[in-house]
Amino acid sequence: MLWLYVVAAGAGALLGLLWLRVIAILAGSIVLVATSVVFMTVQQWPLLEAIVNLLMLLVTLQFSYLVALMLPDSGTRVPSQDGFDASTRRM
């Protein structure tokens, strides 16, 4: 089961670094839930444990997406060195 968490975190980080939008996260979530349900059904997990693990997998995917989405943005916001004067609207 640990490999599903690693895959979820990796997929979320990859989607975040590629700047993909909500539809990609929705598709990734659907694939993750389908894979998990099949895996948990074959292993015959108890219902409550399966639901908690599904929620944790989705949280892992979405949190890693948000973290990776914010990482590249932190270094790109550098103040401009242009001498733009707001009062005269000239450079």
pLDDT of amino acid 73? 60
- Identify whether the C-beta of residue 36 lies closer than 8 Å to the C-beta of residue 2: no
89, part of any domain? no
91, part of any domain? no
78, part of any domain? no
The mean pLDDT value for 51-75 works out to 87
Average of per-residue pLDDT values in the chain: 84
Number of structural domains the chain divides into: 1
88, part of any domain? no
38, part of any domain? yes
Give the domain range for residue 61.
Answer: 2-71
> Is residue 79 scored above 70 in pLDDT?
no
**Rounded to whole angstroms, how far apart are CA atoms 44 and 52?**
15
Residue 36: pLDDT band (50, 70, 90) is: very high
